[in-house]
Amino acid sequence: MTDILILTHTDHCTPGYLREVLEARQLDFRVLRVDRGELLGVDLDRPKAVAIMGGAMSVNDPLPWLVDEIAALRHFIRRDIPLIGHCLGGQLLAKALGAQVQAMAHQEVGWQRQQQTPQAQGSPWLAHLPGEFELFEWHGDTFELPAGAQHLLANEWCQNQAFAWGDKLLAVQAHPEMTEPLVDLWLAEAGHLLDASQASQQSQAFMRQDLSARVTTLNQVAAGFYQHWLRLAFD
């Protein structure tokens, strides 16, 4: 059992760039498929940091393993260890903290601009970022803000893009973990589901424009999130 857990839920929502960061720092970590029951029997008092990745399901789906995962997240929250949630992972953290998660009127897909909110001033999670920057999105649900949360990011398509809770928890609607192969995989597997009539969804061609440069910039954004998460756990 390692000190870092990464909770995943599907084949295509992998740790992506987070794996690269951890391997570059030669940190041991364990990736679990929660949907396959791999969280059961894990010593929840051992991890020092937990990341929760995305998935195509909703936190409101009647899946028994989602109940188990939310219970585990509540245990981690009580332990006050660093937690970072990506898309579904962020929504799971919101639900674990008692907030509602519901479907939006539209899906938000592609390279979307984010704006820091007035509440975000001084947040260590965003200290490396300008007031406006880009993240990769692919979601149709959104979370409400839990009681006591610090609202960090918003944009025209989704008011609640990210929040911090306490000093060790970050939840984002976006996918900062994306790499070029992941973007290619998602577009190959799910590009046919895109709806060009929705202004909140970008075309495949647009999402592939300047892909290498965009992913490099995204990696820099993600690196700041992950470095702060790791400092909280190990410094």
- Residues 6 or more apart whose CB falls under 8 angstroms from that of 161 comprise 114, 135, 152, 153, 154, 155, 172, 173, 174
Q: What is the pLDDT of residues 46-105, one digit of tens each?
A: 999 999 999 999 999 999 999 999 999 999 999 999 999 999 999 999 999 999 999 999
Beta bridge partners of 47: none
Question: Which stretches of 46-120 are DSSP H helices?
Answer: 64-79, 88-96
Distance CA 163, CA 152 (A): 5
What is the reported pTM?
0.97
Query: Domains (ranges, CATH) in the chain?
Result: 4-234 (3.40.50.880)
Per-residue pLDDT at 1: 57
Query: What pLDDT digit, counting tens, does each position of 93-143 carry?
Result: 999 999 999 999 999 999 999 999 999 999 999 999 999 999 999 999 999
Give the pLDDT score at 196. Answer: 79
- Identify the sign of the CA torsion 195, 199, 202, 204: positive
Q: Are 80 and 168 a contacting pair, CB within 8 Å? A: yes
